[in-house]
Amino acid sequence: MNKKIINIAVIAHVDAGKSTLVDAFLSQAGVFRANEEVKEQVMDSNDQERERGITIYSKNCSIEYKDYKINIVDTPGHADFSSEVERIMKTVDTVILLVDSTEGPMPQTRFVLSKALELKLKPILLINKIDKKDQRALEVVDEVLELFMELDADEEQLEFPTLFGIAREGIVQYSIEETSKNLEPLFETIIKQVGCYPLELANEPIQLQISSLAYDSFIGRLGIGRLFKGVLKENQQIVVSKNDKTTVKAKISGLFIYQGLKRVAVKEAQAGEIVVVSGISELTIGDTICDPENIDPLPPIIIEQPTMSMNFLVNTSPFAGKVGKFLTTRNIKERLEKELEVNVGLRVEPLSNSSADGFKVLGRGELHLSVLIETMRREGFEIGISRPEVIFKVDEKGNKLEPVEKVIIDVPTEFAGTVINKLNLRKGIMLDMHSDGVRDKVVYKVPTRGLIGFKTEFINDTRGEGVFVKSIIGYEDYKGKIDGRQNGVLISMANGVTLPYALNNLEERGILFVGPQVNVYDGMIIGLHSRNNDLNVNPTTGKKLTNTRASGSDDSVKLTPPKTFTLEEAIEFIEWDELVEVTPNDIRLRKKWLSENERKQHRNDPH
């Protein structure tokens, strides 16, 4: 008790080095044993986080420095997971804004910084990766200052301290010229900038707002949040003030705090601490835990609304149920309800005016929703996924509005013309362009609709050398029709196994998505047609056997390796009348209506 507590969050754009900086914090604070083997990005513990190399969920840890306890929150840098950032901002005293010394402030930097400034936090700027050959750290400081002014920072916030560092080596220094061996300048700046949480607030009635939820298979649902006032005790009787202003009586059965990377059970916790509570079944994000004698709820946590939706449908393909364990509408409904408890950026609605069994799932972007789909797939679900659709709004005058994103691309000059042309076709408007003769940096404003399917094309057009980042900037007037995929698809018209002879003949028709000895069904998409119409083909046809033999007629068939899709690429590829069939083992593309007659009936029906 009576500890000096400071809570900080590390915020930045993707790949600026947030998780690496947290690694350095933990290492230099002595959290790891001398002989302990430590993974890089130790906070990115989720399988998908490690595979994708990004942070998806915000996480907590703590370190001790001198007589201070510093709670650290590692946050996602991708725009699709900004709801994770929004809700934890209230729990911290300051934020370390990490900016790459070469890239400067990126779209997501603007978003996370605006949330911090709205809550009157005083950020600390850390220019990272100053060991890069093309670093321009001092220019970047000026760019960040301009960003602060654009976001209406007050005079106190504009006096932000600036530090320079190499997170990978655990070094932070006060200036470019100075040298340092550790993070001490950053620790000292945090203490000077914030000071500890007011100790006198421990004498007031308890007030704890839930900013995150978790689940433990032994103790049930966990609520995570900052204790703003009072001293919270294990087995204490409390009142939960819900977001809808109703109240529920409950008891704290378990109380935990963070020590290093571990969650540790304690008998009591003081004001300022980030705590984890168990024993309250009906707990949601934004709820305030209060003293029964003094119910004083905090304002609810407001999360930005979803911008994109997909339909999660029961898998109706002929292969349904061969691999997965969870197939029914009830299974999908229960899983989505469980996800809603912890994923605040998500919404689920029943499908209206549809004969299909499933749900409309609304999220913050393709990646936000595809992470959920991938998680469900690994858990044993089989589902059909529809093409992503943006969520439109209507203003007071009845005008149709759609989400618009700021896009920054950095490409070799030789590819810039192709990329610019494609963004123009997708109703993009160029805002800025710089070139150094080798690479071009282009800033665009593009409707979210126009960016569906663009990333895969961008990677192909720039041969993997381009950098593409985007972030939602708001809603604007509807931009009109945007053309989708230019090519049709090759559709299997037979059930069976693909044969090399048939595939060899089909190669001249387009690009194949399946190899030989693959099970296919009527209505399954097996390739991209070289023309703009769909073509029904039979990939199961074998060579007719005769008694005639001729030199060269029985040579082995040499096939081009088929194009395979990741989940995100498959979702981007499909059109309105197509689905992605997701199972634990396979990702297949198919037509929504499997038989040719049904497809003809619905040919002109975009819904």
| CATH assignment of the domain containing 529 | 2.40.50.250
- Range in 109-118, 233-242, 264-273, 406-415 the model is least confident about: 109-118
For Cα atoms 89, 48, 453, give the angle at the middle one, nearest 5 degrees: 90
24 and 136 both lie in a single domain: yes
Regarding whether 158 and 97 lie in a shared domain, the answer is: yes
- The rounded distance, in Å, linking the Cα atoms of 205 and 555 is 85
Which domain CATH number covers 214? 2.40.30.10
Query: Residue 384 domain-assigned?
Result: no
Nearest to 422 by CA among 379, 485, 366: 485
Which pLDDT band holds residue 601 (cuts at 50, 70, 90)? confident
Alpha carbon of 311 to those of 164, 332, 339, 472: distances in Å?
Answer: 46, 11, 16, 22
pLDDT digits (tens, 9 = 90+) for 534-587: 999 999 988 777 666 655 555 577 888 999 988 888 998 898 889 999 999 999
142 annotated as ligand-binding: no
Per-residue model confidence (pLDDT) at position 360: 92
Does 129 show up as a binding residue in the annotation?
A: yes
Indicate which CATH number applies to the domain containing 174.
3.40.50.300
The stretch 332-354 carries a mean pLDDT of: 83
Residue 150 placed within a domain: yes
What residues are paired with 12 via a beta bridge? Answer: 98
What pLDDT score was predicted for residue 484? 78
- 161 and 67 in a common domain: yes
Is the residue at 383 inside a domain? no
Total domains, the chain = 4
Region 149-178: what's the mean pLDDT? Answer: 88
Residue 444 lies in a domain: yes
Write the CA distances from 144 to 23, 104, 161, 449, integer angstroms: 25, 8, 12, 30
Q: Domain end: 242, 265, 290, which one?
A: 290
137 is in an annotated binding site: no
Choose among 267, 269, 468: nearest CA to 367: 468
Q: Are 27 and 144 within one domain?
A: yes
Between the CA of residue 319 and those of 120, 338, 457, 512, 522, what are the distances in Å? 55, 27, 30, 20, 11
Residues 188 and 206 in one domain: no
What's the full length of the chain, in residues? 607
Identify whether 534 is part of a domain: yes
Indicate the residue among 239, 264, 290 that finishes a domain.
290
User: Which pairing describes strands 254-259 and 262-265: parallel, antiparallel, or unpaired?
Assistant: antiparallel
Of 3-17, 288-302, 362-376, 543-557, give the lowest mean pLDDT range: 543-557
Residues 68 and 145 in one domain: yes
Least confident of 31-35, 378-382, 429-433, 439-443: 31-35
The verdict on 571 and 428 lying in the same domain is no
Answer yes or no: do 45 and 172 share one domain.
yes
Of 457, 477, 497, the position where a domain reaches its end is 477
pLDDT over 90 for what percent of the chain? Answer: 20
Mean of the per-residue pLDDT values of the chain: 83
Q: Could you tell me if residue 303 is inside a domain?
A: no
Is 19 labelled as part of a ligand binding site? yes
343 falls within a domain? no
Question: 219 and 86, same structural domain?
Answer: no
- Asked if residue 41 and residue 188 are part of one domain, the reply reads yes
130 appears as a binding residue in the annotation: yes
Q: What are phi and psi of 164, to 5 degrees?
A: -130, 145
438, two tokens: 């080798």
pLDDT tens readout for residues 454-486: 887 888 888 888 888 777 788 889 888 888 788
pLDDT in tens, 185-194: 888 998 888 8
Mean pLDDT of 75-95: 70
**Contact yes or no for 406/79 (Cβ under 8 A):** no
**pLDDT-based confidence at residue 38 (cuts at 50, 70, 90):** very low
What's the pLDDT at 315? Answer: 92
* Claim to verify: residue 49 and residue 158 sit in the same structural domain: yes
The verdict on 494 and 536 lying in the same domain is: yes
434: domain CATH number is: 3.30.70.240
Structural domain including 281 reads 200-290
- Is 18 annotated to bind a ligand? Reply is yes
Per-residue model confidence (pLDDT) at position 520:
94
Is there a domain that residue 378 lies in?
A: no
20 is in an annotated binding site: yes
